[in-house]
Structure 1
Amino acid sequence: MPIKQTLEGKMRYRIKRGRDSVYIPSDFFDLSDRDQVGRVLRQFIKKGMLIKLGQGIYARAKLSSLTGKPVPEKDLRSLALEALKKLGIKTAPSSQEQAYNRGQSTQVPTGRVIGVRDRISRTIGYNGRFIKYERITR
């Protein structure tokens, strides 16, 4: 099956065939400029192919078997870790995760708190659930 030679076709092919679950606009800047890439990403959101997790962060979506609406393919924590890695922000286990792993606590961490070593002010979330950051120094 031939690939469409339009920008939308090329981006769709990359998203469908790629290993990543998270995409940022700079992943597509080799195909076109910022404005056109942004336009196509907005079209993909309307079609339910992508979900916006934050400013300039998009996740591949699938249809929910319960509601029929698009939902992310992976859990929010996995998507946030992948997005932070793409943005070049170093992550580490949060203090709650460290205490649980050392056996000092029996409280299982929720996974919504991610330890970061760099400063970050990005909001990453979906459907009213957001990731919180904890500054880890080492």
Structure 2
Amino acid sequence: MQSNEYKIDKVIKSKPRGALVFPDDFTKIGSSESIRKALQRLENKGAIKRVAQGIYVRPKIDPYIGEVLPSAEEVATGIAKRDKIRLVPTGVYALNALGLSTQIPIKLVFLTDGAPREIKLSKRSIKLKKTTPKTLLAKGEISSLVIQALREIGKDKISAEEELKILALLKKENQKDLAHDLKLAPVWIRKIMQKAIQQ
């Protein structure tokens, strides 16, 4: 009979390198305790790397720098997919994602409809903050980021340069999504976003 470790290793090797692996992926193979031990043994052998508690990866290999671990952003996306939750980047991370800030946040903060928690990575962390369903109703990828970025900047604190950048980005957004998301934004943010439609 094949061991759980062998079966889990086989499943991991069938996935592309860089794909995140969670203990829940193997519930059909054995008990949670036996899966945990098998993953630990595979980690000790160097077959997989532990990215955070309960999150593993078979790293991509770069010819120059060797093993490449997933970014904090990729880990957050993987968690959202696994838990079937929605995530909206907020704060400094939203500003950075839009190119309005060069500051790379050590802590990525997301609003979510899932359980609030913090996931510690080696050098960065992911914080999930519970929010109201309305906050997550935005359809547009750009417009939802813009709403959060403007909240971070604050009312009456946006510079002319930042506003021009935001309007240029919003023009790339699907106009139907933008019109939908406008209704979800606070009045002062709506006034800025409307300019992208009027122009």
Structure 1 length-normalised TM = 0.70
Give CA deviations for 1:36-80 in whole Å, capped at 9, x if unaligned. 111110011112222223332222225676776x552x3222122
Give CA deviations for 1:10-45 in whole Å, capped at 9, x if unaligned. 211111112471111111010111111111100111
> Aligned ranges for residues 42-81 of structure 1 at < 5 Å?
42-62=40-60, 71-72=68-69, 74-81=70-77
| Equivalent position amino acid for 2:34 in 1 | Q
- 2:87 aligns with one of 83, 88, 91: 91
Between the aligned partners of 1:76 and 1:65, the Cα distance in structure 2 is: 22
Between the aligned partners of 2:111 and 2:124, the Cα distance in structure 1 is: 19
Q: Note the aligned Cα RMSD (angstroms).
A: 3.2
1:11 paired with 2:8, answer yes
Counterpart in 1 of 2:125?
130
Which structure has the larger Rg?
A: 2
Structure 2 length-normalised TM = 0.52
What is the CA-CA distance between 1:98 and the residue it aligns to?
Answer: 4.7
Give CA deviations for 1:81-115 in whole Å, capped at 9, x if unaligned. 2123212332113244555677xx73146265242
Maintained 8 Å contact 1:63/1:71? yes
Evaluate the alpha carbon distance shift between residue 108 and residue 136 of structure 1 in structure 2; reply closer, same or farther with a 3 A threshold. Answer: farther
Higher relative CO (Cα under 8 Å, sequence separation at least 6) belongs to: 1
Structure 2 unaligned regions, length at least 5: 136-199
In proportion to residue count, which structure has more helix?
2
Q: Percent identity?
A: 22
Between the aligned partners of 1:57 and 1:30, the Cα distance in structure 2 is: 18
Structure 1 unaligned regions, length at least 5: none
